[in-house]
Structure 1
């Protein structure tokens, strides 16, 4: 009985460590890396925080949308700190977003530099969503976006990629 309990605890711990490994440190140069990894492909980039009042609504919607459309290139960036890694991973798991490979967390002492790298006009308000097309032209939305807009954008960029 004790062995089983120990094995279960070990598996749970190992699962949490693996999930936490999906969270990448967002540092200077990470934005260029994201764009390079998605070269020629549309992607949706969502910036959020554990302390954001409206972020759970968008995370829930994105989690459902990603399940319905696994081909969606989704980039999640938590504007919190690496010290909050376990809370971030648990939060994402609650919305079935913990398996998103493109999950990041701000990992520099000066978040202003990271915000500037993402968008010179952004001062840190979240939720903030960037919709990149194949040419990486982007539409920026602050606040709640909603599923209807995401569906329209997703349909549009997928129609363009067929042309």
Structure 2
């Protein structure tokens, strides 16, 4: 019985990433973890109508480019972590780094991410190797994603 429990624990740990709380200072932590590497920060929500398509496209991109780093940031709450994990797994992004807003004032977190972002989703930030970033709101065309990956992910 203990062996079965251990195997289930190992399987679940390897099948998806833990969702971490996004609080003031978390963006700097994400950038430190991605130091010297280009990455995509994808902001989404379980209630966003256009987010599933965007996330499925990012999953396909990640499968075609295994060196691509994608960080998911849900603008929901930690109370919804189980649902967010399930959705990310279903979209094919279960192994990507995952975060969720964890502040009672989400506006404060939005402001720390980008003073010009007003909460529209999906919102995507492209960080190059030096962590210079560009932002895009709405669904991003596959061609634009492929172009960015071709330029930045080697």
Q: TM-score, normalised by structure 2?
A: 0.89
Count, aligned residues: 151
- Give the secondary-structure state (helix, strand or coil) at the position aligned to 1:58: helix
Distance 2:13 2:34 in 1: 26
Q: How far off is 1:90 after superposition?
A: 0.6
Q: Does 1:157 align with 2:149?
A: no
**Residue 68 in 1 paired to residue 64 in 2?**
yes
CA RMSD between the two structures: 2.1
List aligned pairs for 1:35-50, cutoff 5 A: 35-50=31-46
Q: Structure 1 residues 34, 76: closer, same or farther in 2, change over 3 A?
A: same
Q: Is the 8 A contact 1:19 1:89 kept in 2?
A: no
| 1:13-162 paired onto structure 2 within 5 Å | 22-100=18-96, 102-158=97-153
Q: TM-score, normalised by structure 1?
A: 0.84
The superposition leaves residues 27-51 of structure 1 with CA deviations (integer Å, 9 ceiling, x where unpaired) of 1100011111122221111000001
Q: Secondary structure at the match of 1:113?
A: helix
